[in-house]
Amino acid sequence: NAGVTQTPKFRVLKTGQSMTLLCAQDMNHEYMYWYRQDPGMGLRLIHYSVGEGTTAKGEVPDGYNVSRLKKQNFLLGLESAAPSQTSVYFCASSYRVRDGYTFGSGTRLTVV
């Protein structure tokens, strides 16, 4: 049982480039989330999904898009990367809306 898997683990982008971060969970969880973690800011919710085919904006959605075409996958896209998007990105999932979350190990993204 792998839990939540994030790929890639590290990435360096140039300003203006695009990329997609993949999150996959094998626990049949309905709910999936994307957070970013910055020093002194804690974790901030970017987008989330309450089920296959649904997405919703979180606290800091600007500059990101998401898709949940399959229940087990939640993709986070950066269309035109900016240095302000340098961060560590975490995906999480939960079975029910008020359960504890299972987190992936993170993607460290640097935009230069």
Partner 1 sequence: SQQGEEDPQALSIQEGENATMNCSYKTSINNLQWYRQNSGRGLVHLILIRSNEREKHSGRLRVTLDTSKKSSSLLITASRAADTASYFCATDVTNQGAQKLVFGQGTRLTINP
Q: Which residues bind partner 1 (CB under 8 A)?
A: 4, 33, 35, 40-45, 48, 56, 58, 90, 92, 97-106
CB of 79 to partner 1, least distance (A): 25
14 versus 62: smaller Cβ distance to partner 1 = 62
CB of 69 to partner 1, least distance (A): 21
1 versus 14: smaller Cβ distance to partner 1 = 1
19 versus 43: smaller Cβ distance to partner 1 = 43
Is-contact 51 73, C-beta < 8 A?
Answer: no
Is-contact 8 24, C-beta < 8 A?
Answer: no
CB of 87 to partner 1, least distance (A): 14
DSSP labels, 23-79: EEE-S--SEEEEEEEETTTEEEEEEEESSTT--EE-SS-TTEEEE-SSTTEEEEEES
> Is it true that the peptide bond before 61 is cis, omega within 30 degrees of 0?
no
CB of 16 to partner 1, least distance (A): 28
